């Protein structure tokens, strides 16, 4: 007896409904999902809100530690002015710093070109300067310039780029890479495994033999070579990584497909003359949902970690793009001198991976047909 299409749809729906019920009733799963949503949203929208472009170099602020305080700090205004004056080839005199602005006199032995004032707005410390007065001989200019109020909540990197913005921007790429590679692995693995498991016999043996051979190919070597070949295109590398990572997927799917094929209703469907394609579509695929979804959720973290390993080797994502892996590899190297460069991206990475992994496990339990 074969289940009618509507009966099947009912079974499917009830499985999903039960899974949803289970997940919703699970506090940890809810927390993980919420955390992931927050991280994803922050990565998507955060860079627009932080007030810093992710690739802007603040030449005055390389390696600034995280802080709520506004920059420039009052005591830093004097030295910054001196540096600026040096670049303008003038002397800074009668400096008076108020809360939001600085008033001073620029002095030189030669008449001063007004255009030097553009240096104020070009520096990271001051805004657009206003000319208040000029001496007769043009050798003294009285100037007022507002202080630029910058905040680096998570500090800056060695080039003075805002670390929070970079971490969020990096998160977009890391998560996207994880999803992309997983999608590719999923696509290949499910199709390959389902085919092998359903067709069975010699075809299955040959297909699984290929999987065994690919298993004994050292994976890291493979990835390094891929990076060498496709170094310019990160996306391509991770499509390729996905194309290598499908082996586990194929094995899991094949085992499930075999088990399902042995079940009575599938045999009955076969006896009734349903085509292989129809059996695949109606019976095998729905039953695979649980393990496949769970495996996918666990694979995203693996891919993200792989990217960070490549970054440790210097083969990760390249400028101007950045990823959590790149930031962490950078941070691990300057652990003693600038610990925030490690802590900030690492906490984002660990939090997301933790949530993904835990959620993946809960998802597997929830979708377990037997449970």
Partner 1 sequence: MIPYVLRRLAQAVPTLFIVVTLSFFLVRLAPGGPFDLERPLPAAAMENLRRVYGLDQPLLVQYGRYLAALARGDLGPSFSVRDLSVAELFARGLPVSMTLGGLALLVSLVLGTLLGGLSALRRGSALDHAVTTLGTFALTVPGFVVAPLLQIAFGLTLHWLPVGGWDDGSPKNLVLPVVTLALPQVAVVARLFRAGLVEVFDRPHWRTLRALGLPPRTLALHGLRGAALPVVSYLGPAAAGLLTGSVVVETVFGLPGVGRYFVDGAINRDYTLVLGTVVLIAVFVLVLNLLSDLACALIDPRLRDFG
Partner 2 sequence: MRRRDILAGFGAASFGAVPFGAAAPARAAGPAAYRRGNGADPETLDPHKTSTVAEATILLDLYEGLSTYGADGDLVPGAAAGWTTSADGLTWTFAMRPDGRWSNGDPVVADDVVHGFRRMLDPATGAKYASVLAPILNAEAVNRGAMPVDAVGVAAPDPLTVVIRLAQPTPYFVELMAHQASTPLHRPSLARFGDAFTRPGHLVSNGAYVLKDFSPNDRITAVRNPHHRDAAGIAIPRVEYIPTPDLAAAVRRFAAGEIDSLEDLPADQVKALKARFGAGVVLNPALGVLALMVNVRKRPLGDARVRRALSLALDREFLADAVWGETMLPAYSLTPAGLDNALPPPTMAGRDLSPLEREDAAVALLREAGYGPGGTPLAVELRYNITDNNRNTMVAIADMWRPLNVATAFAATDAKTHFAYLRDGGPFDIARMSWLADYADPQNFLFLVESGNDGFNSGRYANPAYDALMREAARETDLAARARILYRAEELFLADLPWIPLLHYRHKHLIGPRLRGFRPNLRGVSPTRWLSLA
Query: Closer to partner 2 at the Cβ: 88 or 346?
Result: 88
Phi-psi region of 138 (alpha: psi -120 to 50; beta: other; left: phi over 0): left
Site for partner 1 in 295-354 (CB under 8 A): 301, 305, 308-309, 312-313, 328-329, 332, 335-336, 342, 346, 349-350, 353-354
Q: Of residues 358, 363, 366, 367, which one binds partner 1 by CB under 8 A?
A: 358
The beta-strand segments (E) located in the chain are 70-71, 91-97, 101-107, 130-134, 140-146, 150-151
Tell me the number of residues near partner 2 by CB under 8 A: 31
Query: Closer to partner 2 at the Cβ: 4 or 216?
Result: 216
Q: How far is the CB of 83 from partner 1 (least distance, A)?
A: 34
SS3 label, residue 126: strand
Q: What phi and psi, each to the nearest 5 degrees, are found at residue 287?
A: -70, -25
Q: Of residues 68, 228, 271, 272, which one binds partner 1 by CB under 8 A?
A: 228
Beta bridge partners of 144: 103, 130
Give me the half-sphere count of Cα atoms (radius 13 Å) on the Cβ side of residue 200.
Answer: 10
Contacts with partner 2, 190-229, as mask; x by CB under 8 A: -------------------------------------xx-
Q: Is 330 in the site for partner 2 (CB under 8 A)?
A: yes
Q: Of residues 88, 106, 181, 188, which one binds partner 2 by CB under 8 A?
A: 88
Q: Is 333 in the site for partner 2 (CB under 8 A)?
A: yes
Helix, strand counts (H, E) of the chain: 14, 6
Structure tokens at 141: 């200019």
Peptide bond into 183 cis (omega under 30): no
Q: Which stretch binds partner 1 (CB under 8 A): 17-25, 177-185, 219-227, 254-262?
A: 219-227
Q: Of residues 218, 273, 277, 320, which one binds partner 1 by CB under 8 A?
A: 218
Q: Which stretch binds partner 1 (CB under 8 A): 99-107, 164-172, 178-186, 214-222?
A: 214-222
What dihedral angle (degrees, nearest 10) is formed by the CA atoms of 255, 256, 262, 265? -170
Peptide bond into 288 cis (omega under 30): no
Q: Whole-angstrom Cα distance, residue 371 to residue 365?
A: 8
Q: Which stretch binds partner 1 (CB under 8 A): 47-55, 195-203, 217-225, 282-290?
A: 217-225
Q: Strands 70-71, 150-151: parallel, antiparallel or unpaired by DSSP? A: antiparallel
* Residues making contact with partner 2 (CB under 8 A): 55, 57, 59, 62, 87-89, 113, 115-116, 118-119, 158-160, 227-228, 231-232, 314-315, 318-320, 330, 332-337
């Amino acid at each position: 007896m074969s289940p009618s299409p509507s009966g099947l749809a009912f079974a499917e729906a009830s499985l999903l409904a039960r899974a949803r019920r289970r997940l919703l009733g699970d506090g940890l799963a809810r927390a993980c999902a919420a955390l992931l949503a927050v991280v994803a949203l922050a990565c998507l929208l955060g860079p627009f809100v932080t007030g810093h472009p992710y690739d802007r170099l603040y030449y005055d602020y390389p390696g600034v530690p995280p802080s709520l305080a506004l920059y420039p700090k009052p005591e830093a205004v004097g030295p910054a002015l001196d540096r600026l004056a040096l670049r303008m080839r003038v002397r800074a005199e009668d400096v008076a710093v108020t809360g939001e602005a600085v008033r001073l006199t620029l002095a030189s032995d030669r008449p001063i070109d007004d255009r030097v004032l553009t240096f104020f707005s070009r520096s990271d410390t001051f805004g657009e300067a206003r000319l208040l007065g000029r001496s007769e001989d043009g050798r003294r200019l009285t100037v007022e310039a507002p202080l630029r109020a910058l905040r680096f909540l998570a500090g800056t990197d060695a080039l003075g780029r805002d670390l929070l913005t970079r971490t969020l921007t990096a998160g977009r790429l890391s998560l996207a890479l994880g999803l992309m590679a997983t999608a590719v692995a999923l696509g290949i693995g499910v199709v390959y495994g389902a085919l092998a498991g359903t067709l069975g016999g010699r075809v299955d043996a040959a297909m699984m033999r290929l999987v065994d051979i690919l298993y004994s190919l050292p994976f890291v070597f493979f990835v390094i070579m891929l990076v060498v070949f496709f170094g310019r295109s990160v996306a391509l590398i991770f499509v390729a990584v996905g194309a290598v990572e499908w082996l586990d997927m194929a094995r899991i799917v094949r085992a499930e497909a075999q088990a399902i094929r042995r079940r009575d209703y599938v045999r009955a469907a076969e006896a009734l003359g349903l085509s292989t394609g129809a059996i695949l579509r109606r019976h095998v695929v729905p039953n695979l949902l649980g393990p496949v979804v769970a495996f996918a959720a666990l694979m995203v973290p693996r891919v993200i970690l792989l990217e960070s390993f490549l970054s440790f080797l210097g083969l990760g994502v390249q400028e101007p793009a950045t990823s959590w892996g790149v930031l962490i590899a950078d941070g691990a190297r300057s652990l003693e001198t600038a610990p925030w460069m490690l802590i900030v991206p690492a906490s984002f990475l660990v939090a997301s991976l933790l949530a993904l992994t835990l959620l993946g496990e809960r998802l597997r339990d929830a979708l377990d047909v037997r449970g």
